[in-house]
Amino acid sequence: MKPFQWIFLGLGATALTANSASKQKDDSRPNVIFLVADDIGYGDLSCYGEKTIHTPNVERLAAQGLRFTDAHSVAATSTPSRYALFTGHYSWRRNDTGIAAGNAGMVIRPEQYTVADMFKQRGYSTGAIGKWHLGMADKTGEQDWNGHITPGPSDIGFEYSYLMAATGDRVPCVWVENEHVVNADPNDPIEVSYTTPFPGEPLGKDHPEMLTKLKPSPNHGHDQAIVNGISRIGYMKGGKRALWEDENIADSITCKAVQFIKGHKDKPFFLYVGTNDVHVPRYPHPRFVGKSGMGYRGDALLQFDWTVGKILDALEENGLAENTLIILTSDNGPVVDDGYADRAVELLGNHRPWGDFRGGKYSIFEAGTRVPLIVAWHVKVKPGVSDALVSQIDFFASMAHLIDGNIEEGAAPDSRNALPTLLGKNKKGRKYIIEKANAISVSDGEWKYIPACNGRTFDNLTNIELGNSDVDQLYNLKNDRGEKVNLATQHPEVVARLKAILQKEQGN
């Protein structure tokens, strides 16, 4: 294992004083950080009431900010969720925003206008660090992993980027900084394929003895290329010098985020930090291992919490705590076994990652998309709890309103200004939200309607109820948070009202 990178990069010892002068004082141009967790559920953070895990740094943020109880991602998996977050365009309007492979082309096309473009155009420095999962280069399979991977994040508004292409469980297992693989070696070129194994490269399914860190769960399919004693989805060859080590992923992301904050303390910035925690493969740094009593999944939650703490510290140390708006959320709901034998199910005990909601990641039931959300901005947001109905689709327009109230013609077509709600000036939420897993749903906060659709009701691999049904479903979320009683036949008028909204939004 490499030395603990935090110390390695010399950041741990940096004794910045809390009053190191910041030139940033303009309230109309705060720094903005989108801190997006991966697969962290509504019940995974102690500030949401679960007593089984303690996440003190998220509590510290929640104590300074507004914690939302009815906040939603647009989708129940990462790619469509992040697509909507960055573009303000519903991912379900396109048929190519599903879970992206590690060699997928750019899902957000360069001509699209993103929230990062919006900030950049207003003079902000912009950065994207951590999990990307939105494709790189023009077309699938056409990346130059040994040269300039273009088009890339810089074409959709991110001036700086340090990213994993897709997920921890997908090749290539390398960091891509400013569109170049870090530590790429011309003598050991990287090749990636999602269709054809490379002759001579061992695969997890044939070489279980090489899986020294984690083994795949049966039948999930994470049994292809072996990187660092963990088999992944996809095939990869070369780039030995560039491969990440799973136990250092959180440190790398956190270091880069802290460096970005420090390096931009004199000018407003927009920073997206996508953590890898708690997506699979979960392989936290040894200093977190065994600390949760819940195995690697719980330990990875503590690691996430540590990242949050380091980011808050960096803001304080650089004199930016007062003038930075932080939005902490998750891309989709939780899953316990998502492909690796990490004993997460066995060690879960009484912990309920989904809180009191039904379903989980991949599901149209509430746990798929009802996510943690904390908005904090020093004196501008009065600490507390908001039950307003909010959707990540509105972050884009809200951020434009934060700065100057303008939004470019045609940009973020589905995004509405929710700034007063996000800042707690208003308890009024959205009139309705639309979400998509396999099924689509519309909810006004009280009633949720899921039209009949095709698809499995249950996923045996992850043990999650997906919410698909061949009959219409209607739930009253105020009386029935667990979506147990289908009231569609009792309340046809409510079904008709919500169906009309959905049809109008879908353009039919």
Interface with ligand NG6 by CB under 6 A: which residues? 38-39, 77-78, 99, 133, 167, 169, 220-221, 233, 279-280, 332, 338-339, 461
Sign of the alpha-carbon dihedral angle for 316, 286, 9, 258 = negative
Cβ of residue 96: shortest distance to ligand NG6, in angstroms? Answer: 15
Would you say 124 or 244 has its CB closer to ligand NG6?
244
Residue 181: C-alpha distances to residues 57, 101, 149, 437 (Å): 32, 17, 8, 32
State the residue for tokens 């573009």.
87
Q: Which two tokens stand for residue 282?
A: 């979960």
Which does residue 169 touch among Ca ion, ligand NG6, none (CB within 5 to 8 A, set by kind)? ligand NG6
Q: Residue 254, SS3?
A: helix
The one segment of 41-49, 323-331, 424-432, 463-471 that binds Ca ion by CB under 5 A: 323-331
The one segment of 37-45, 117-125, 226-234, 388-396 that binds Ca ion by CB under 5 A: 37-45
Cβ of residue 72: shortest distance to Ca ion, in angstroms? Answer: 14
Tell me which residue of 146, 135, 78 sits closest to 112, measured CA to CA: 135
CA–CA distance, 164 with 82 (Å, rounded to integer): 14
Cβ of residue 107: shortest distance to ligand NG6, in angstroms? Answer: 12
Would you say 70 or 169 has its CB closer to ligand NG6?
169
State the residue for tokens 């130059």.
144
Which does residue 167 touch among Ca ion, ligand NG6, none (CB within 5 to 8 A, set by kind)? ligand NG6
Cβ of residue 184: shortest distance to ligand NG6, in angstroms? Answer: 24
**Which residue's C-beta sits nearest to Ca ion?**
78
Tell me which residue of 359, 311, 399 sits closest to 37, measured CA to CA: 311
Tell me which residue of 256, 278, 391, 274 sits closest to 34, measured CA to CA: 274
Cβ of residue 84: shortest distance to ligand NG6, in angstroms? Answer: 13
Cβ of residue 85: shortest distance to Ca ion, in angstroms? Answer: 12
Element (H, E) at 5: helix 5-8
Residue 481: C-alpha distances to residues 71, 73, 446, 503 (Å): 14, 17, 10, 25
The one segment of 36-44, 316-324, 348-356, 476-484 that binds Ca ion by CB under 5 A: 36-44
Cβ of residue 437: shortest distance to ligand NG6, in angstroms? Answer: 11
- 331 near Ca ion, judged by CB under 5 A: yes
- 112 near Ca ion, judged by CB under 5 A: no
Would you say 88 or 360 has its CB closer to ligand NG6?
360
Residues 6+ apart with CB under 8 A from 360: 41, 333, 334, 335, 336, 353, 354, 367, 368, 462, 464, 465
Choice from 37, 38, 300, 403 touching Ca ion (CB under 5 A): 38
**What residues pair up with 386 in beta bridges, in sequence order?**
68
Which does residue 233 touch among Ca ion, ligand NG6, none (CB within 5 to 8 A, set by kind)? ligand NG6
Would you say 77 or 254 has its CB closer to ligand NG6?
77
Cβ of residue 38: shortest distance to Ca ion, in angstroms? Answer: 4
State the residue for tokens 């009484």.
350
Would you say 166 or 495 has its CB closer to ligand NG6?
166
Residue 95: C-alpha distances to residues 92, 107, 116, 273, 396 (Å): 7, 11, 23, 26, 22
The one segment of 1-9, 330-338, 373-381, 444-452 that binds Ca ion by CB under 5 A: 330-338
Residue 471: C-alpha distances to residues 440, 451, 487, 492 (Å): 13, 7, 11, 13
Cβ of residue 76: shortest distance to ligand NG6, in angstroms? Answer: 8
Report the largest interatomic distance among the alpha carbons of the chain, rounded to a whole angstrom. Answer: 68
**What residues pair up with 163 in beta bridges, in sequence order?**
130, 176
CA–CA distance, 392 with 81 (Å, rounded to integer): 8
Would you say 39 or 342 has its CB closer to Ca ion?
39
- 332 near Ca ion, judged by CB under 5 A: yes
Would you say 33 or 280 has its CB closer to ligand NG6?
280
CB 204 within 8 A of CB 222: yes
Which does residue 412 touch among Ca ion, ligand NG6, none (CB within 5 to 8 A, set by kind)? none
**What residues pair up with 270 in beta bridges, in sequence order?**
32, 126
Would you say 87 or 332 has its CB closer to Ca ion?
332
| Chain residues 49-88 in contact with Ca ion, contact rule CB under 5 A | 78
Binding site for Ca ion (CB under 5 A): 38-39, 78, 331-332
